[in-house]
Amino acid sequence: MGRDDLTAVLRSGPFHLALRAAIEARGLALQRIQFRLAEQGLHVGVATLSYWQQGRRRPERQDSLRAVTALEEILGLPPAALTVLLGPPRPRGRGVGLPPGARRYAELISPVSALDRMLAELDSPADGRLHTVSLFEDIDIGADRSGLRRRCLHVVKAHQEVDRYVTIFQGDEGCDPYLIEVVPLANCRLGRTRRDAASGIVVAELLFDRTLRIDETHILEYEYRDAGGVECRDYHRGVRFPTGQLTVQVRFAPEVMPVRCYRYNQRYLNGPDIERTELTVTGHRTIHLIATEVPPGIVGIRWDWE
């Protein structure tokens, strides 16, 4: 690209095209740019730089904006040449555009500090922009009493423009999250994944093939496969936003059948049960719950082995 072309795109934008043109004109690989940023104490991943120049994401956080200012110098651009193309920051925060009664992560998962760190590493590009219309979860309990697989058929609705869903899973106590695999099955593909060994939390991006507009819906299927063999006695779902329908089915291997099962609801994680109903295992070795017009909180199933 010639200098005149670069000047033109810097004048008109958009930001991602200007950034891409500047990188091409400078002839620097993304790995080299990442290194130059790191020399200034700015840690930006190669994938993030790639997303910025593709227009799949844009820098919004303060550390990202500092990186853009540094990029202007690294790429030999006039001061604010890229920054001005970003325009005013978009509304951010957990309350922006969310349905009434939305619940904070701190009320649904522990320790929330580990989750916040992982979401920050991803720049949480989809956090809070989708909510669940309906969700069907199918859990397989193996002969070793471990949760082998959790399959999800998930219908989501966008209340901000978004091109991915961030799925969050916390394994059973003592699990190794590096033995938990996130597998996209339909209408999505796997993006970046983060794991925290101490908490057993896994966070993964499930990417759509396009950006959803406000009020658009999307159906995706995915599953978690856990090879860790840790005993499972409970499965619960943290509900952040009011949800139309939630169905959970647990299927037990024939070698291991629980002696008691019940569903429960809590307003927040580890709070008192506000509802508790005994469940009977069917001849197909399954138990299930179906909840409609689900308010934010915890919905789950527990069972006793003996």
Q: What pLDDT, in 10s, does the model give residues 99-118?
A: 566 788 888 999 988 998 88
**Interhelix angle for 62-74 vs 15-26, to 10°?**
40
For residues 251 and 285, the answer to whether their CB atoms sit within 8 Å is yes
Above 70 in pLDDT, residue 119? yes
Confidence band (pLDDT; 50, 70, 90) for 11?
confident
158-190: burial string, b at 16+ Cβ within 10 Å, e else: bbbebbbbbbbbbbbeebebeebebebeeebee
pLDDT in tens, 128-181: 678 899 999 999 999 999 999 999 999 999 887 888 999 999 999 999 999 999
Residue position matching structure tokens 């089915």: 249
CB 274 within 8 A of CB 294: no
pTM of the model: 0.68
More confident: 7 or 73: 73
